[in-house]
Amino acid sequence: MAGMIELWRIEKEIFVSSARTGEGARIAGGRWNSPGLSAIYCGESLALCIVEILVHASTPEERVDPRVRFRLHMPSTAITGLGNNRLPRGWNDPLIHPKTVALGDAWLRSLRSVALRVPSAVVPGAWNYILNPAHPQFKKRVHWAKPLSLKLDPRLIDVASA
């Protein structure tokens, strides 16, 4: 797939039917979007997505929820990169920085590209991708494979007992 990139998305199994909508991020907001704006958070690898799940689902009860994984492909030309020089000081702190939210909101509203490449706040040197489901080319440019079950290794569920 020349010119195509592979991305990954992990979703709770109960939300599989809305995985392509960005509804969760629209309701809750995130590091790169305010509540009210739909966005779909993806990672460059399945491993990065799992680490992100472990950080955000911090209790064993949250981690045990059944999940699915999606493999996505999209053309690299549909992606805008956010340069490190545009990141505010403290952008990767555990608390969400209002300036990263403002950067993401501006990008989402601009409809400049289908995806925004941003550095992971959890894994240095790794990249996450924010997809804009409101972009007019979203359905045409983002290809979703069939969801597959994802079972986390039991040692990742309750790390205190591992």
The predicted structure's pLDDT at residue 152: 86
Q: Of the CATH numbers 3.90.175, 1.10.1760, 3.30.1380, 1.10.10, which one belongs to the domain with range 4-157?
A: 3.90.175
Counting other chains too, the contacts that 11-17 makes at CB distance below 8 Å and 24 or more residues apart are 11/67, 11/68, 11/70, 11/147, 12/65, 12/66, 12/67, 12/68, 13/65, 13/66, 13/67, 13/68, 13/149, 14/65, 14/66, 16/68, 16/147
pLDDT in tens, 80-98: 998 778 899 999 998 889 9
Mean pLDDT of 18-34: 96
pLDDT at 1 over 50: no
Mean pLDDT of 42-60: 92
46: phi then psi, degrees, rounded to nearest 5: -65, -40
Domain positions in the chain: 4-157
pLDDT at 159 over 70: no
Q: How far apart are CA 131 and CA 115, in angstroms?
A: 4
The predicted structure's pLDDT at residue 64: 85
Mean pLDDT of 23-38: 96
Distances (CA, A) of 87 to 17, 106, 119, 121: 33, 14, 9, 11
The predicted structure's pLDDT at residue 162: 47
Distances (CA, A) of 90 to 24, 32, 40, 76: 25, 14, 23, 28
pLDDT in tens, 133-144: 999 999 999 999
pTM beyond 0.85, yes or no: yes
Residue 156 host element (H or E): helix 154-157
Mean pLDDT of 105-128: 96
Confidence label for 61 from pLDDT (cuts 50, 70 and 90): confident
Q: How far apart are CA 150 and CA 13, in angstroms?
A: 9
